């Protein structure tokens, strides 16, 4: 935030990423709130009147108590060690806010202008937000790939700076894209190949090894002609995946798929399962995690890496019996001397849910979608506006 003048007594609008999972009013993973604290805390300590804005979930442009940021205001206050004012208004001036005080606006997505595709509507809402402050700090990395009012339009209306969290994320992503130490290994998992088509296409021009697990692996296995039973499958992506397999072979990229899986009778945490070869999944079974031989294989492929990016769990880690594959990959990264990056989203949630040490990784991103789009080579509207 070096390009901001003295902020003492000035109103600073901070766009944070506080999009945390809730169970009722209970926050089940406060990682993104904790990641936002350093920038907010520094501004408050510098004597600014800090007004924080953020979104939560997808309330579709209208107020919905299920998506209120009230529980977030409480947790943010606990982490900052100071009260956070919260009135439940999306646009609120907080006239009583003192120097060093912190306030949080209600969920930005309660207002249709935040996500509007109509530039005029979006800019009108941005104008209302900009009127609250003297300066703007963009620190919500998980939203920088969105052309939303609070991310893209507001910084064009106020003197602005990049927050510490966003700056750190960009520095890490540059390390992954500009001149990574080799071998450079990427581990991709999660449910759908379609979510990662562009990033796979781009990574095939950059990486030495690509390990594929999770639900998306079954589309790759099917593309090779194997039976995948009732496992998650995207039939409409088979031709695209065959193209990836050919391209990897042509470029000399080692593309590694599971050799065994935990094949369950149905999708449930207590479902009976067997370990079966990945090319022989019974027609009445579905793969819910990578198997022990694959865990060992993947760990071996990570052992000599100098740079690793991991995005997406290896199985249904939310069910304890099917969390072993994700744990094995995470532990291999912790044991590695490589520069290791966990690409946000479910991967970051898995690290915390499995009780693994966050400082065992070089970096845990707060923005899965934003990280992937950066690695695709896309221009991110929120970064454009800040730069």
- Give the DSSP letter string of 176-242: HHTS--SSEEEEE-SS-GGGGHHHHHHHTTT-SEEEE-STTHHHHHHHTT---TTS---GGGHHHHH
Catalytic residues: 32, 192, 345, 369
Contact 14, 40 (CB under 8 A): yes
Q: Report the C-alpha gap between 221 and 288 in whole angstroms.
A: 14
Contact 143, 55 (CB under 8 A): yes
User: What φ, ψ does residue 12 adopt, rounded to 5°?
Assistant: -120, 120
Q: Report the C-alpha gap between 28 and 239 in whole angstroms.
A: 39
Contact 135, 117 (CB under 8 A): no
Contact 169, 141 (CB under 8 A): yes
Give the residue ranges of the annotated binding site for substrate: 17-19, 32, 55-58, 109, 146
Contact 59, 19 (CB under 8 A): no
Coil vs helix vs strand at 41: helix
Gap between the terminal Cα atoms of the chain: 12
121: burial class by Cβ within 10 Å (0-12, 13-18, 19+)? Answer: middle
Q: Report the C-alpha gap between 128 and 19 in whole angstroms.
A: 22
Give the residue ranges of the annotated binding site for ATP: 196, 287, 318, 344-347
User: Cα 192 to the chain's mean position, in Å?
Assistant: 15
Return the DSSP state at 118. Answer: S
CA atoms within 13 A on the CB side of 139: 29
Radius of gyration of the chain (CA): 22
- Give the DSSP letter string of 121-144: HHHHHHHHHHTT-SEEEE--GGGT
Give the residue ranges of the annotated binding site: 17-19, 32, 55-58, 109, 146, 196, 287, 318, 344-347
330: burial class by Cβ within 10 Å (0-12, 13-18, 19+)? Answer: buried
Contact 367, 141 (CB under 8 A): yes
């Amino acid at each position: 935030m070096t390009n901001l003048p003295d902020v003492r007594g000035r109103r600073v609008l901070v766009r944070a990423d506080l999009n945390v999972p809730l169970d009722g009013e209970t926050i089940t993973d406060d990682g993104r709130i904790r990641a936002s604290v350093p920038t907010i805390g520094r501004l408050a300590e510098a004597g600014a009147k800090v007004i924080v804005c953020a979104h939560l979930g997808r309330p579709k442009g209208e107020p919905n108590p299920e998506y209120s940021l009230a529980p977030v205001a409480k947790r943010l206050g606990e982490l900052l060690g100071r009260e956070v004012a919260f009135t439940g208004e999306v646009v609120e001036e907080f006239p009583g806010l003192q120097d060093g005080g912190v306030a949080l606006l209600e969920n930005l997505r309660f207002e249709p202008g935040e996500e509007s595709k109509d530039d005029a509507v979006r800019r009108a809402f941005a104008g209302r937000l900009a009127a609250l402050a003297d300066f703007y700090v963009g620190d919500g990395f998980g939203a920088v790939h969105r052309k939303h009012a609070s991310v893209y339009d507001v910084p064009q209306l106020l003197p602005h700076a990049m927050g510490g969290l966003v700056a750190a994320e960009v520095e890490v992503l540059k390390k992954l894209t500009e001149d990574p130490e080799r071998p450079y290994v990427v581990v991709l998992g999660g449910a759908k190949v379609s979510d990662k088509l562009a990033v796979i296409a781009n990574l095939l021009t950059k990486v030495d090894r690509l390990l594929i697990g999770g639900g998306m692996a079954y589309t790759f296995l099917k593309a090779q002609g194997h039976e995948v039973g009732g496992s998650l499958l995207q039939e409409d992506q088979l031709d695209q995946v065959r193209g990836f397999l050919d391209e990897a072979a042509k470029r000399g990229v080692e593309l590694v798929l599971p050799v065994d899986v935990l094949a369950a009778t149905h999708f449930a945490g207590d479902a009976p399962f067997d370990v079966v070869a990945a090319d022989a999944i019974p027609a009445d079974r579905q793969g819910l995690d990578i198997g022990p031989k694959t865990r060992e294989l993947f760990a071996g492929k990570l052992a000599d890496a100098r740079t690793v990016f991991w995005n997406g769990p290896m199985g249904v880690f939310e069910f304890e019996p099917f969390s072993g594959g994700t744990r094995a990959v995470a532990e291999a990264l912790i044991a590695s001397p490589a520069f290791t990056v966990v690409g946000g989203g479910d991967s970051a949630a898995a690290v915390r849910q499995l009780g693994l040490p966050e400082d065992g990784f070089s970096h845990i991103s707060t923005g899965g979608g934003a990280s992937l789009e950066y690695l695709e080579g896309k221009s991110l509207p929120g970064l454009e506006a800040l730069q």
